[in-house]
Amino acid sequence: MAGSDLAAALVDHASARQGVPLAPMMHLRIGGPAEWFVEPFDEEGVAATVRACRERDLPMRILGGGSNVVVADQGVPGVVVHLGNLNRMQREGRRVTVGGGVTMASLLRSTREAGLAGLEKLTGIPAEVGGAVAMNAGTRDGETFEHLVSLTVVEPDGRIAIRSQEDFQPRYRDGALGGAVVVQATFELAEDRPDAIFERFSASLQKRNASQPVTQRSVGCVFQNPEGDAAGRLIQEAGCKTLRRNGVQVSDKHANYFVNDDTGTAADFVALMDEVRSRVQQSFGVELRAEVKFWGF
């Protein structure tokens, strides 16, 4: 069987386990197991994992905070890699270098305490740094790439490489990394008083909590905003707010969020997406495109 020797091949570089349930790691709390679940020990471990998957023709996916992924009920074939061990942070002047497995919440807290401003516009993004860079995560106030100055990545062929600002070509909700894995990111920020940064952080958090179902299980925005419009507005005006498919429902707080009441399945989520997309198409002639990622479908 392809990949049967994966654990032995990675023994010095990573922990590799079979049949690991993914639902507990997902914000949505749905989905089946990973065929292989790999946790590299360091950057070289990530490179070794990429090479091992390439040599064995195994599909590989990177799991960050699990905040924008829907996992199929039957699970995910191939390898799911988690970068939680890449969790170091280092400051040099106004620059902060962080591992791909650092959570955005930890990064924002550390920079705020250090009096470094700029990232508070990303308040509330439930992701790890690697995933936030890969999808150019953002809010109405800004995006991840705005303060990035360099990246360390593992290229699809397993080489570790440095990418600088002139190499960046981010798009809306897409870091355009060409399949590379982010293992380290360096941000250049501005100096400011910690209390002033905290005020902006608190204001952003309060605004987010007022407009999004942050206490419920979701994957954030389900659909991308069409140019010049908002997917949430279209969904609401198409009469989809609180529309339900078994345990998954369109949020009554923000129509571009689907929430799980702990009984929903991935099949329910996809069925609800299809219904919402169809109603918006019929009402406005707009075809909504998914922002959330799908694994194992």
Is the domain of 51 the same as that of 105? no
Dihedral class, residue 294 (left if φ above 0, else alpha if ψ from -120 to 50, else beta): beta
Q: How confident is the model at residue 2 (pLDDT cuts 50, 70, 90)?
A: low
CATH number (domain holding residue 164):
3.30.465.10
Same structural domain, 148 and 192: yes
pLDDT digits (tens, 9 = 90+) for 158-198: 999 999 999 999 998 889 999 999 999 999 999 999 999 99
Confidence of residue 215 (pLDDT cuts 50, 70, 90): confident
The answer to whether 129 and 107 are in contact (CB under 8 A) is yes
For the record, the structure tokens of 118 come out as 């700029």
Length of the chain in residues, anyone?
297
Q: Are residues 98 and 207 in the same domain?
A: yes
Q: Does residue 78 sit in the same domain as residue 97?
A: no
**Residue 94 or residue 208, greater confidence:** 94
Residue 127 and residue 111: Cα distance in Å, rounded?
Answer: 16
Q: What is the CATH classification number for the domain harbouring 34?
A: 3.30.43.10
- Whether 74 is covered by a domain: the verdict is yes
State the Rg of the chain over Cα.
Answer: 20
More confident of the two residues 133 and 207: 133
CA atoms within 13 A on the CB side of 224: 17
Question: Are residues 155 and 266 both part of a single domain?
Answer: no
CATH code at position 285: 3.90.78.10
- In a domain? residue 226: no
Same domain, 198 and 261: no
DSSP state of 120: G
Global pTM reads 0.90
224 domain residue, yes or no:
no
Q: What's the chain's average pLDDT?
A: 93
The domain boundary residue, chosen from 48, 82, 116: 82
Classify residue 218: in a domain, yes or no: no
Q: Are residues 97 and 179 in the same domain?
A: yes
Q: Is the same domain home to 181 and 121?
A: yes
Which of 123-132, 193-202, 210-219 shows the lowest mean pLDDT across its residues? Answer: 210-219
**Residue finishing a domain among 60, 82, 104:** 82
CB burial class (10 A; 0-12, 13-18, 19+) of residue 12?
exposed
Q: Based on the structure, what is the number of domains in the chain? A: 3
DSSP three-state, residue 130: helix
What does the pLDDT look like over 51-101, one tens digit per residue?
Answer: 999 999 999 999 988 888 999 999 999 999 999 999 999 999 999 999 999
Domain region containing 29: 6-82
Residue 3, pLDDT > 70, answer: no
Residue 217 is assigned to a structural domain of this protein: no
Residues 70, 160 within the same domain: no
